[in-house]
Amino acid sequence: MPVCEVCFHHCQLKEGGRGVCGARICRDGVIVPENYGKITSLALDPIEKKPLARFYPGSYILSAGSYGCNLHCPFCQNYEIARREEMLRSDASLRGISLYRDISPEEMAGIAAAYQKRGNIGIAFTYNEPLISYEYILDTARLVHQNGMKCVLVTNGTASLDVLEKLVPYIDAMNIDLKGFTDHYYSDVLHGDRQMTMDFIREAVKHCHVELTTLIVPRENDSLEEIDQLASWVASLADVYGGKNGSDIPLHISRFFPRYRMTDRGPTSVRLIYQLAEIARRHLTYVYTGNC
């Protein structure tokens, strides 16, 4: 059976089978993104909402998302689209309403260009996990660049370096989730792979502007020691950061709110977020607090 090589799951798919992400499918013996061009969310957002604090601040960017994700975060803010099964169970599907719109790369690039007069600088692929349909990103980003506009990825960084290598010539900035700094949290809570994400980040910072985001979840990744280790590792990327200082890589520390399947605890303490940010600033120049 064909094996999907996008991420560490290496899903072996029989004909018609879908991967863990719910979006890659085996058709005629080839694994392809079933969600190619199927857009569930489209909005013109401030660039700071991605969040990107040091990439064209004050501008806007057209944000586009599809469905599916190769992690299973129990606190997912966009679970209705990130989890394909949740999307199919939604009230909208029961009413027979289309849950996505097919938008070709050419049409998407045209929409982005049309919004330039509203301050739009390009396209951000976001909302669900964009890398599971990297083929659509590649086809669209080429056209966006031809129009002299920017391309941004908002991603969990759970993808192979082969996927990254295909995309980096056309990506100008990324916000990558570094969700925690223990293998237990990544493997047992998120069903992810910390090393794959770290390898992805280490390579990405060589090629484009990168900012990182860590959501602080009570009783999971909220210790002072963990954020100290995480920030120290980010600062250590100086050796690969395009000749720059690794401590200049921006880190966003964000507050958790109960959501989806994790409603057994309250929001992260604002005081703790500020305390963790101060610890991160021992290693990093640009540390931002979110959702406070």
Which string of DSSP letters, residue by residue, matches 40-52? Answer: SEEEEEEGGGTT-
30 lies in a domain? no
Residue appearing with tokens 């931002």? 288
128 lies in a domain? yes
Domain interval for residue 116: 37-290
CB-CB contact of 205 with 237 (8 Å): yes
pLDDT tens-place string over residues 119-161: 999 999 999 999 999 999 999 999 999 999 999 999 999 999 9
CB-CB contact of 157 with 119 (8 Å): no
Residues 102, 74: Cα–Cα separation, whole Å: 29
**pTM of the shown model:** 0.94
Residue appearing with tokens 């690794």? 246
**Is 80 exceeded by the pLDDT of residue 39?**
yes
pLDDT tens-place string over residues 181-229: 999 999 999 999 999 999 999 999 999 999 999 999 999 999 999 999 9
- Residue 38: per-residue pLDDT: 96
> The domain spanning residue 46 has which CATH number?
3.20.20.70
275 lies in a domain? yes
Residues 235, 202: Cα–Cα separation, whole Å: 11
pLDDT tens-place string over residues 51-102: 999 999 999 999 999 999 999 999 999 998 888 766 666 555 545 556 789 9
Angstrom CA distances, 211 to 3, 46, 253, stand at 31, 16, 11
Instruction: List beta partners, residue 27.
Output: 30
Q: What domain count does the chain have?
A: 1
210 lies in a domain? yes
CB-CB contact of 205 with 178 (8 Å): no
Write the DSSP symbol of residue 1: -
For residue 38, the surrounding DSSP H or E stretch is strand 38-39
75 lies in a domain? yes
Angstrom CA distances, 132 to 19, 137, 155, stand at 10, 10, 10
169 lies in a domain? yes
